[in-house]
């Protein structure tokens, strides 16, 4: 799209955006309760 300037600017912008988005997603996983590890409950036989 922008030739060599697109490559020179696009790769660092993509890498920076990926790092930021990954950090935000990891934070969101901790804050929200949607991604909690499933803990299997032991069922006691009576």
Q: What is the pTM of this model?
A: 0.63
Q: What is the pLDDT of residue 43?
A: 64
Distance CA 44, CA 38 (A): 18
Distance CA 25, CA 44 (A): 37
Residue-wise pLDDT for 1-46, tens only, equals: 689 999 999 999 999 999 999 999 999 998 998 887 765 566 666 5
Distance CA 34, CA 46 (A): 32
Q: What is the pLDDT of residue 37?
A: 72
What is the residue extent of each domain of the chain?
Answer: 1-31
Q: What is the pLDDT of residue 8?
A: 92
Q: What is the pLDDT of residue 35?
A: 80
């Amino acid at each position: 799209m922008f030739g060599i300037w697109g490559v020179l600017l696009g790769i660092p912008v993509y890498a920076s955006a990926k790092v930021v988005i990954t950090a935000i997603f990891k934070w969101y996983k901790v804050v929200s309760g949607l991604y909690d590890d499933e803990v299997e409950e032991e069922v006691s036989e009576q």
